Every structure is written in structure tokens, then in C-alpha cells.
Amino acid sequence: MEIKVMHQIMEWNEDVSEQVKAELAEHHICLINVMGSPGAGKTSLIVRLIEAMRSRWRIGVIEGDIAGQIDAEKIDAMGIPVVQLDTDGACHIEAESIRHILPHFDLDALDILFVENIGNLVCPAEFNIGESFRLALLSIPEGDDKVPKYPLMFSTSDAIIMNKYDMLPYFDFDDGRVERDAKGVNPNAAVFRVSPRTGQGLDELLPWLEARIEAARQS
Amino acid sequence: MEIKVMHQIMEWNEDVSEQVKAELAEHHICLINVMGSPGAGKTSLIVRLIEAMRSRWRIGVIEGDIAGQIDAEKIDAMGIPVVQLDTDGACHIEAESIRHILPHFDLDALDILFVENIGNLVCPAEFNIGESFRLALLSIPEGDDKVPKYPLMFSTSDAIIMNKYDMLPYFDFDDGRVERDAKGVNPNAAVFRVSPRTGQGLDELLPWLEARIEAARQS
């Protein structure tokens, strides 16, 4: 019975994600689904990317959290339009929630919408929320064995970002292994090594992101 | 519809968890449900606890993973009975899986059964797997804001363990804040600061654990 219902929900989610995609396309907005474990540095990376890209693009953020609004407050303090999505215990975001939230933004005044998904390497990967593309974060302290352990997350993402890369000297983390594992499950994924704290690796990530954003906004 | 089905599954899970509890009680086995994010150090802590306690207790492990058996191989290499539970994509363990696995152990030759749950701060907290008690791990690199963000995990656990505590100097992590937040949502929880790598904090955690294990085995 569980499997049957899951299937129904997924089909329903696909319909809604197509509606979200259509609405975003009408306004030439690129939606970036940012996923990773609790504490992988999702908010810190989004903050860094906003700083680097806000002179060129008009950016908004949807902050998904199970409870509280700590992250939304950080984005709001930057003067960036942000909506808090409180999932009230749920472990992922679905397209239906995005559909309800979109009218709270001035869509004609946005080029990019970041969605910070719930901190979770499992469930968010199952749900298309109408995104243009997906970023999967794996932070150095989490360990280098995570790609084979959470294959759906890394196989469905467009870029795999080794985050908090400045922490590499303090952990037993083989970044070559992660890159090999990532390419193994997802040969088309881009792989980056980034530190939001030091800025390391942004010079590689940003051009890739900007090309993807331009392509998404024109599609 | 989703909520209704969830409710049915939970009721069903409660029935099964009572069956698991009864079977464990018959054999005087304490089941410890170990939960935390991907990379929080669940396996490393279990390995350390086995090393510290194996002369006194007979220990078995159920290693929950979405895919692969990296962790089970580590436990097996220690000569400890271990069963790999591959959830095949599912984000948590349910009591029904534990019920199916128990016959694979020689239950008369066990005092403690560790269950390493799926790396996930959300879904595992919703499911009673027949445990005697729960340990919730929060590793220092994940950040000190996680208790209010994942309240169910920390409010339903018997001990909250700040893991990888030796990493404190390298991160902006206020352990006093975590302890206050933890006591706020869960006044009865024990709070520990532990490093499986250096052994720091085991002198406090072990006596607490052993008292809980003794009580569980006699109940």
C-alpha cells in the first residue's frame, strides 16, 4: 500500500512541477534547487553566490526549513526577497509548495530563484520542484564515502559541489575518490571544490552557473 | 490523502515495534537506535563504543544504509555480528525491518544491539523501531543551529551527543548554545561532548550508557 500511494504522489508532483516550470519560463526565471545534508553549508553558499551575482542578476530565495527561520533572516538581512517555507516536519519540498509560494514574489523583477531544500541527502532527491537544475552539496566533514551511500541525490544532480573545501587539511577526505564516484553514478555532472568562507573555487563554479542560468532563462 | 496513509503506517509501525520490544525483552537485549546526519560519525562512534564495551557485553549491530555496505564491512572486520539493512532508497528504518532481521542473530548470545539508522535528521525520528533508547548525534561541522531546525530528532532522543568534538577549534560552533537548545526542547535529555577519534568525552558517555543498558536489559 505504501508503494502505491508514493507512486500517486509522485505523479501528482510531476504534473505540478510542469506547472511551476511553465510559470517560471513565462517570466524567464531560473530556479536552482540546492540540496545537501544538514550543515553542508547550503545557506553559506547561497549567500556567497548572491554576493557574487547580484550586480548582474535579480535574485530571490525560498528557504525551506522544517522549523524556524534562522536562514531566511540571513537572506532578508542582505535585502534579497525571501520567503520562508516551513514544512512543519516534512523531510523535503514538493512542487505544490513552490506553486503556492511563487505569487509572493514579484516574478517580473526576478532572474534567479534559489530554493534551499530541507537538509537531507535522501528524500529531496525524489521530488522535482520545477527546477531548472540541481546542485548537490557534500561538505568535507561529512566524509568521502557519501556518493555510493546516497546514489539518487548525486545521480540526479547537475553539479556536485564539495563544500567547505578549506577544511580538507583537517579531515581524512579523498576528494579524488568523490570525483570518481560522482562521475561513476553521473558522468554528466560537473564537480566543484568550493569554500564559501574563503571564496576558493568560486572562479570555477561561477562561470558554469552563469552559463546554466542564461540557458535556463532562454528556454 | 497523504496524511491519512501516514497515520495508518505509523499505527502499524507501533504494533510491530511492540512485537520487537517483546522479543528483545525475552532475550534481555538492549536495542540502541543511533541517529544523525550523513557524516555525523555514527559508525565511528559505534566502533569506539564496541571497543570500550565488548569485554563486558556481547554486542551486535544492524547497519542501515540506502545502498552499499561500507559501514557493515567495518563492523564485520571487528568480529562483531552485523546485518546490513539495505533500505533501497528509503529514508528511515521501520520496526518491520528490525522484526525481519532479528532471526538472523543468535539472540541468546547478545546483550546489546546497535542499530545505525539512515543518515538523516528528519524521517528516522518519526519511527519507533522497538528501541530501548535513542542517541541523536550532532557533529561539530554541521553547525550549532541544528536543534531548533530539526526539533523532532532532538526532542525524542534520550541523549544528544555533540560528536567530532575535537573539531571545535576549527568551526564557529557554540556548544553552550546547543546544550541550551537541547535542554529547551528536551529537558530530560543527557548531553555529551565526544570525539570518537581522540576518545574525548567517553569517560562521561560510557557510565551513562552502561546504566541505561543495564536498566533496559532488566526491564
pLDDT band of residue A6 (cuts 50, 70, 90) is very low
Q: Would you state the pLDDT for residue A9?
A: 52
Once rounded to an integer, what is the mean pLDDT over residues B15-37?
97
Neighbours of A110 (CB within 10 A): 20
Q: Would you state the pLDDT for residue A69?
A: 85
Residue B154 near chain A (CB below 8 Å): no
CB contact set of A35 (below 8 Å; sequence gap of 6+): A42, A117, A120, A121, A124, A125, A134, A135, A136, A137, A153, A157
CB contact set of B99 (below 8 Å; sequence gap of 6+): B16, B19, B20, B23, B130
User: In this structure, what DSSP letter does residue A132 have?
Assistant: S
Of A67, A91, A141, the CB nearest to B39: A141
Of the candidates B68, B66, B35, which has an alpha carbon nearest to the alpha carbon of residue A152?
B66
Average pLDDT, chain A: 93
Of the candidates A161, A146, A202, A179, which has an alpha carbon nearest to the alpha carbon of residue A34?
A161
Once rounded to an integer, what is the mean pLDDT over residues A123-139?
96
Helix (H, G, I), strand (E, B) or coil at B186: coil
Residue A118 near chain B (CB below 8 Å): yes
Lowest mean pLDDT among A54-58, A81-85, A172-176, B49-53: A81-85
Residue A3 has pLDDT above 60, yes or no: no
Of B1, B38, B70, the CB nearest to A142: B38
- Choose the mutation target among A142, A147, A165 for the interface with B, i.e. most B CBs under 10 Å: A142
Provide, as residue numbers in chain A, all residues whose Cβ is less than 8 Å from the Cβ of B166: none
Q: Would you state the pLDDT for residue A148?
A: 95
Q: Would you state the pLDDT for residue B13?
A: 78
Q: Would you state the pLDDT for residue B69?
A: 85
pLDDT band of residue B12 (cuts 50, 70, 90) is confident
Asked whether the ipTM of the predicted complex exceeds the cut of 0.85, the reply is no
Residue A152 near chain B (CB below 8 Å): yes
pLDDT band of residue B90 (cuts 50, 70, 90) is confident
Average pLDDT, chain B: 93
Q: What would the DSSP string read from start to end of B26-82?
A: HTT-EEEEEEE-TTSSHHHHHHHHHHHHTTTS-EEEEEEESS--HHHHHHHTTT--E
Of B70, B148, B170, the CB nearest to A68: B148
Residue A1 has pLDDT above 60, yes or no: no
Look at B70 and A145 and tell me if their CB atoms are within 8 Å.
Answer: yes
* Cβ-contact A61, A53 below 8 angstroms: no
Residue B184 near chain A (CB below 8 Å): no
Provide, as residue numbers in chain B, all residues whose Cβ is less than 8 Å from the Cβ of A141: 39, 139-142, 164, 167
Of A1, A89, A146, the CB nearest to B39: A146
CA distance B103 to chain A (A): 25
Q: pLDDT tens digits, residue range B119-153? A: 999 999 999 999 999 999 999 999 999 999 999 99
pLDDT band of residue A11 (cuts 50, 70, 90) is low
Residue B152 near chain A (CB below 8 Å): yes
Of A39, A91, A152, the CB nearest to B123: A91
Look at B119 and A37 and tell me if their CB atoms are within 8 Å.
Answer: yes
Residue A12 near chain B (CB below 8 Å): no
Look at A164 and B152 and tell me if their CB atoms are within 8 Å.
Answer: no
Strand partners, A31: A113
User: Angle, nearest 10°, between helix axes A42-53 and A202-218?
Assistant: 70
Question: What pTM did the predictor assign?
Answer: 0.87
pLDDT band of residue B9 (cuts 50, 70, 90) is low
Q: Would you state the pLDDT for residue B5?
A: 38
Helix (H, G, I), strand (E, B) or coil at A186: coil
Residue B10 has pLDDT above 70, yes or no: no
* Cβ-contact A147, A178 below 8 angstroms: yes
